[in-house]
Every structure is written in structure tokens, then in C-alpha cells.
Amino acid sequence: MTDAYALMGEDRRPWLDPEVLKRRFHEMSGPLHPDRHHGAAEGEREAMGKRYAELNAAYSVLREPRDRLLHLIELETGERPRDIQRIPPGTMELFVEVGQMCRDCDGYLVKKGGATSPMLRLQLMQAGLEWADRLGELQGKVRAVGEGLGVELAGMNVVWATAPAVGEAGRVGALPMERLEQIYRAMSYVSRWTDQLQERVVQLAM
């Protein structure tokens, strides 16, 4: 498996500063950009193009927290996380709330789409403003969960910094892999909920 951390010159750890990572990517990839090597020999252009593509792929993995965690889990354990669909601890209440909100909002959208009476359409338009507020409030809750997970990931960096080196015995046992998998699953749900709620916000505005 290609190690995106190694390609980007980063130590393995759960949390990375997005701005620092972005600057590193531009510093490393800038000299390799195809526009800078039109006059180079074909073999040199191919080699630089390959390196540029590898850096792009590594950056794409590391800049997204959910993708980065999946990659880190696979690097450390040699396998993908198990029970991806299992609801992570502490998120059941929000899982139920988002699901109910989406179902209720969909019912409103169906009713709005079938309204023909001007009076009813006016009433539904006013109700739509209330729905937008409710969705915005729930989006805030989901966003807060995601931010909390990010803070926890940042706090876990010290564990990776003090663990046995890559390849040494006892490394995986010294790392909180079970909790990392739980956070990965939680982030997957946060991403899903964010998309679901935003989809309804867009539909309300149409």
C-alpha cells in the first residue's frame, strides 16, 4: 500500500493542520507541475508527471479527515475498519433526529410541490422559512459533533508521537485503534448527515 504520509513527508498521526499540509503540497508539487517541463526529455517529463500525480493523490487522501483516518487505519492494521455501518457510541440520538428531520421535511416538500391554491402556497412558503431554521439548527449540531471529533483527533497525536516506530513490535498495541475506528465511523455519519441536511436546504430554496 502506498503511504500518503511518507509521500508528503509527514509523520503518521490522526490530525494534520490543513493549512500547513496545503503549503507543503504546493512546495513539493510546484516544481513538478507539467507546465514547467514542456522542454524536458520525454522520460523526464513522464517521471515528473508520475511524481506529480502521486503527490496529488496523497494530498487528496490526507486533507480530508475521514479519508485520512481510513488510510491511517489501513496503514497501521493492514486491513479496513470493520462494522462500518454500526452507529458509533454517543451518536444514536443525533442519528434518530437527523433521520426524522429528513423524513418530515420530505413530507413538507411533497406537499409544497403539489400545492395549487395561492393561499395554501403562501402558508407553505411561510412554513418553509421555519423548516430552513430547523434544518440550520440541526446542521449546527452536526457541525459541532464534527468539530469535537477533530479536537479529539488533535489530542491523539501525542500517542502516535510516543508509540514504537513503524515496523517495531508493539506499535499497534500501543495505539488506540478501536477508538480511531469509532471516530472514523462517526465522521462518516457526520459527512452523510451534512449532505442529507444540505440537500433539503437546497430543495427548500427552489
Cα dihedral angle (130, 131, 137, 143), rounded to 10 degrees?
Answer: -160
What pTM does this model have? 0.88
Residue 40's pLDDT is 65
Handedness of CA 78, 179, 152, 193 (dihedral sign): positive
In angstroms, the Cα distances linking 165 to 43, 76, 153 are 36, 11, 19
* Predicted confidence (pLDDT) per residue in 181-190, tens digit: 999 999 999 9
Q: What is the per-residue pLDDT across 35-89, written as a single tens digit (0 to 9) for each?
A: 666 666 676 777 777 888 999 999 999 999 999 999 999 999 999 887 767 788 8
Which grid cell sits at 162?
A: 510516543
